[in-house]
A and B are shown apart, each in its own frame.
Chain A
Amino acid sequence: MTAVAEERKGVQPHVSSRALAEMMFRFRELGIVLALVLVVGATTIDNHLFLSATNVQQVLSAASIIALLAIGETIVIITRNVDLSIGSVLGISAYATGALYVHHPHVPLALVFLLALGIGVGCGIVNGLIVTVARVPSLVVTLGTLYIIRGIDGAWAGGNQVNASMLPDSFNKIGYGTIAGVPYLGIIAIVAVAIATYAMRTFRTARDFYAIGSDPDAARVAGIPVGWRVFLAFVLSGAIAGVAGAVWLSYYGSVDAIAGDGYEFQVIAAVVVGGVAIFGGSGSVLGAALGALLLNTINSALVVVNVSSFWSQALAGGLLVGAIAFDRLIAVRVAPALRTRRRVRV
């Protein structure tokens, strides 16, 4: 291993600009953490209540749901696809969970989550099949299922609403409970992100996702079952959105036909701000989760310093564009180095 370490020293000086770009790619997470510290610091100086336990818990819980969804979305985007249906899947799963409790108040918790998971997997299978078998671009497919699932949800729920009072306390507690001040939701998200981050680095299937997004044709030549992997990515994304639906209900306590409306864009924004390349191939679940935390923190910070919530949307948009421009800038700066044949290193 020492030989390798020495080698790296020898390699760096020739490629400093590219090495820097590579660092930027790899340590995007660090940049987000830095931005997070800046936002929190500046807001706290303006209003020290920003760091109060209640506020922090609230930000963390809200970010957790987006972060959960971001795990699945990251996997899909890494394969050079996109899943726009997650908000609708979350919505119908949340309503199904509520309806289940209304009709069977004593149903065990495990069964509730199993139902949510099942609904998500079902939606994921539909998305995945249309994308891989019928070879329709995922943008179109999931835009379609976004409306279809939302339509079914609306027809089913009608004007009904399920309230927290109709839900058992054991379920509601998932939403508001804390351990040592940390909300359950935060813990769920942290554990899920940790597992996903590890898995995305460690399993062949996960590395296949990266390979497919990096160069689909090369992936096919390398013998990777591209269709199956893409299908799996959609099933995973659906499954996570399904479970997130039950989690969402436990946090917000009431559900109607528009639960989770527009979440897909919040999630995609978080994923892209978190450094996942929109055309696939690179990025991490951790980055996406941090992106979710950053966007939610900014939202909350703007409220605390009394800026209209309209601005918070504009700011999220600005960050999104900024993140993409940043990626593009790196790509453009790396391109001439790519074209130049290096004769130095032999």
Chain B
Amino acid sequence: MTTTHPEPLLSLEHAQKSFGAVHALEDGDIELFGGEVHGLVGENGAGKSTLVKILAGVHRPDGGRLVLDGEDAIFDNAKQSQAAGIAIIFQEPTLFPDLSVAENIFVGLQPLKRLRRIDGRRMRREAAAVFEQLGVRLDPDRLARGLSIADQQLVEIAKALTTNARVIVMDEPTAALAGTEVDRLFGIVESLRARGNGVLFVSHRLEEIFEISQRVTVMRDGRHVLTKPIEELTIESVIRAMVGRDMDALFPKVPTEPGPVVLEVDRLTREGVFTDVSFKVRSGEIVALAGLVGAGRTEVARAIFGIDRWDAGAVEISGRRLPPGSPTAAMRAGIGLVPEDRRQQGLVMDFSIERNIALASLDNIQRAGLIPRGAERSFAKDWALRLQLKYGKLTNPVWTLSGGNQQKAVLAKWLARKPTLLIVDEPTRGIDVGTKAEVHRLLSELATQGVAVLMISSELPEVLGMADRIVVLFEGRVMREFPRAEATEDVLMHAATGMVEEAA
């Protein structure tokens, strides 16, 4: 069973999927044979996750076809995908924390005895047998709550084995694993392959892809770029295929003379999330935190702003230490945070535009604890004008604004506080091109006025176009730091995928 079959177990051809105006997947192709481990790589937003979710039955493709064992298949839900013999191991598995490990493996498919009662003994025995087969020691009776991510994945793999899945898709399975856990996982993947299963292995770590797969597919901007046997590829050629696109946007970056250090992050650590993160941001400087999804960028920003506590290290603003876990202290120290998810965290969607803009500056507007409507309005109007916000009426709820203008409203809210440090997390995600350029112009302008800007972005052109310095995170650690002049897509991608030895 170790040889490749002539007929693929699964093939997805020209799959398309859009979410509103966003084309997440324009041409998704993948072909998986029994007895092969197939690596799938691509930048953030290349469409890998969408492709995986189509296979999982979570998303229904808008176009294209899915062929399983030579027959057309389309999944409306996860159940159908499972029934067709596809098992998905997500980066962060979704187990039921309150159920035992054995119950998690057999949920909905528990072995029964007379009167449709669950045969608990058989369930535990079979679970133990699967773990033995996998060569791991896990107590089937313990609750899933508190299992490490590695062990949670094992439970998912065990589930796949008990349902006799032939196609096993692993979406970034190693992102949260330690070294020995990765070795263990690879041993299991190898034995799955040897049994004739097809394994689709999605990973950001190219070394791992080269270690474990027989063939590799590269995706970029929602499209299939290439599929080749591993022998015909090098890490270099894969990276080139991943980033090779046109630098289309022009960035209105204005060179500035950096002033004194505003933000100093020193060996900041949050257990299991990020470790020993150190960097500085000077006044007038734009520093980008780059890295792949899950590298810990947003988490670092949240910690600096005091939303999450840190376990070790220190954050200083203009030489003064911030107490951990206090957004109030962070705001008082002059930090503003424009979060990644503006609908959930940046705006109160049902509040009016003027309310949202004034929300962080109520201290300055209030008179004896009351908020004069007139003062609030003229305050909001002033800032809306400065940011060229396009709105109908300031009293309209903020959700009536377009995505780009919502983002401007969030920016206005923080700029009105005259921050010394502005943290922007994915400032242009989901924003149309025109407004995008305006946001870039605005950030650049702020820097010239002496504000220190910490920008998190998944878009390499944005990082390269806007930042004075780039700090690349990889799995919760600072991998490298580049000055603007030394940064190219290639070296950034190397650092972001954990290739240390490839110095520029």
Contact = CB atoms under 8 A, between A and B. Distances in A.
A281 B97 contact: yes
Contact of B137 (A10, A202, A220): A10
- 5 A-B pairs closest in CB distance: A223-B79, A281-B98, A218-B94, A214-B96, A339-B272
26 contacts: A4-B139, A4-B141, A7-B137, A21-B146, A22-B143, A204-B108, A204-B116, A207-B110, A208-B108, A215-B97, A218-B95, A221-B94, A222-B78, A222-B108, A223-B108, A337-B146, A339-B273, A340-B271, A341-B149, A341-B150, A341-B176, A341-B177, A341-B181, A343-B181, A345-B137, A346-B136
A31 B404 CA distance: 56
A106 interface: no
A343 B180 contact: yes
B140 interface: yes
A8 B141 contact: yes
Given A7-B137, A8-B141, A345-B137, A224 B107 contact: yes
A11 B140 CA distance: 12
B135 to A, nearest CB: 10
Contacts of A341: 148-150, 176-178, 181, 272
Q: Which of A3, A277, A282, A346 has the most CB of B within 10 A?
A: A346
A252 B107 CA distance: 44
B418 interface: no
A1 B125 contact: yes
Contacts of A213: 98
Interface string A1-39: 101100110110001001001100100000000000000
Interface in B93-129: 94-99, 103, 107-108, 110, 112, 116-118, 120, 124-125, 128
Interface of B: 58, 77-79, 82, 94-99, 103, 107-108, 110, 112, 116-118, 120, 124-125, 128, 132, 136-143, 145-146, 148-150, 176-181, 184, 270-273
A162 B176 CA distance: 66
Nearest to A19: B142
Q: Which of B96, B117, B137 has the most CB of A within 10 A?
A: B96
Interface residues of A, number: 45
A223 B116 contact: no
A94 to B, nearest CB: 34
Interface string A206-238: 011011011101111111100000000000000
Nearest to A339: B272
B49 to A, nearest CB: 15
A196 interface: no
B146 A202 contact: no
A279 B176 CA distance: 28
A215 B97 CA distance: 8
Contacts of A222: 78, 107-108
A11 B142 contact: yes
Contacts of A220: 78
A281 B99 CA distance: 8
Interface string A292-311: 00000000000000000000
Contacts of A334: 145-146
Given A8-B139, A204-B108, A207-B110, A214 B82 contact: no
A336 interface: yes
A204 B118 contact: yes
Contact of B117 (A15, A202, A281, A337): A202
Contacts of A204: 108, 110, 112, 116, 118
A339 B271 contact: yes
Contacts of A103: none
Q: Which of B112, B136, B142 has the most CB of A within 10 A?
A: B142
A211 B107 contact: yes
